[in-house]
Amino acid sequence: MVKKLVTFVLSLILVVGLAQTFTANAADIEQISLYLPKVTAYLHSDTSLSVGDVELYLNDEKLVVDNVEKFNPEYHKTIYYLLVDTSLSIDDNTFGAMKEVLLSFYDKLAEMDEIVILSFGGEIKVQLNGHINRNDYVSIIKSLRNNGKPTLLFQALQDAAEMTVKSANKEDCRKIAFVITDGKNSAIDQATINEAKNILSNSQLPVYALLANTAGQEYIQTFGEFVRATGGEIVLFNSSDAINQFNTIFNSLQNSWIITGHGKNNRIESNIKISVKFIQTGMTDEVIFTPMFWVEDTVAP
């Protein structure tokens, strides 16, 4: 089966090692898609949801909730921005496990899905771009080498976010950055962790990460906080359990809900706050960001 690979980001954050998962809360917004007056919220929820269970707000405006449904990869397309760490700081055993995860990733894709693949080490390189079959995909993954320095982790994530903005007018679908790395960033005069966090937030691109447990506790803590701030999740792996940990995080990102609503008009503000209120618990989760994409209104009032 041929699958689309709009590949630009090979930046896989391998979170192997400890069978440890840093997950989202029971009901957290993962990302927001704005095609006003339509608003789509993707969120994590441990319980089933229906239209009557939630309220959706755009700033202070209560929106009409049109639909609430479980995410289904057979009907809901996802574009994956796959980032792979190819730096010298990754030891050979860990890198071999990362490649096994990458090979497994292809088999998880639904027919509608697309992949953008970027590798990052001493440079950020577009590995794939277009339609590709499994044999060609396997050849590219096997050709990767862990020999780059320094490590352009946050620059690669920033590049991925910028790609989503450039392609945002093409279609409204879920977009996810999936990164495998040891969490180290040694670049000078490149994107910082805060710069990457800001553009990921404003472009509404969540990061799911596999983080090698060979990284020190400092990297585990710092990168874990960074990933969760984007709406994603992070899992640690080691060279012997990488596939199991990958299955854990991939199953988690598939276990999501989609809320679709609409407002009164398509007017967009410089700062957006989207809130989801859960009726039964009274809890509210919100996301605040500055939109980086909009569609010009060509219809006269």
- The per-residue pLDDT for range 53-103, each reduced to its tens digit, is 999 999 999 999 999 999 999 999 999 999 999 999 899 999 999 999 999
Residues 106 and 193 in one domain: yes
Give pTM, 2 decimals.
Answer: 0.88
At residue 203, the 3 state secondary structure works out as: helix
Q: What is the mean pLDDT of the chain?
A: 86
Residues 7 and 84 in one domain: yes
Cα 215 from Cα 177, distance rounded (Å):
20
- The per-residue pLDDT for range 173-184, each reduced to its tens digit, is 999 999 999 988
173: left (phi over 0), alpha (psi -120 to 50) or beta: beta
Residues 58 and 82 in one domain: no
Which is more confident, 185 or 226? 226
Residues 238 and 117 in one domain: yes
Structure tokens at 143: 């050709």
Residues 50 and 83 in one domain: no
Residues 39 and 151 in one domain: no
Residues 131 and 188 in one domain: yes
Structural domain span for residue 266: 27-73+257-289
Residue 186, pLDDT score: 76
Nearest to 251 by CA among 113, 116, 71: 71
Cα 139 from Cα 135, distance rounded (Å):
6
The answer to the question of residue 300 being in a domain is no
Residues 165 and 39 in one domain: no
pLDDT at 106 over 90: yes
Nearest to 63 by CA among 276, 256, 272, 294: 276
- Within the chain, what is the greatest distance between any pair of CA atoms? 62
The answer to the question of residue 93 being in a domain is yes
Residues 156 and 8 in one domain: yes
The answer to the question of residue 299 being in a domain is no
Residue 133, pLDDT score: 84
pLDDT at 13 over 70: no
Which residue carries 């309220």 as its tokens?
Answer: 55
Structure tokens at 267: 């007017």
CATH code for position 31: 2.60.40.1220
Phi first, then psi, for residue 212 (nearest 5°) are -65, 135
The answer to the question of residue 252 being in a domain is no
Residues 63 and 212 in one domain: no
Residues 9 and 38 in one domain: no
Structure tokens at 59: 């700033």
Nearest to 61 by CA among 275, 251, 258, 279: 275
Residues 32 and 157 in one domain: no
CB 144 within 8 A of CB 99: yes
Q: How many domains does the chain have?
A: 2
Nearest to 178 by CA among 92, 94, 113: 113
Cα 26 from Cα 94, distance rounded (Å):
31
The answer to the question of residue 198 being in a domain is yes
Task: Identify the band that residue 130 occupies on the pLDDT scale cut at 50, 70 and 90.
Answer: low
The answer to the question of residue 296 being in a domain is no
Give the residue-averaged pLDDT of 245-274.
93
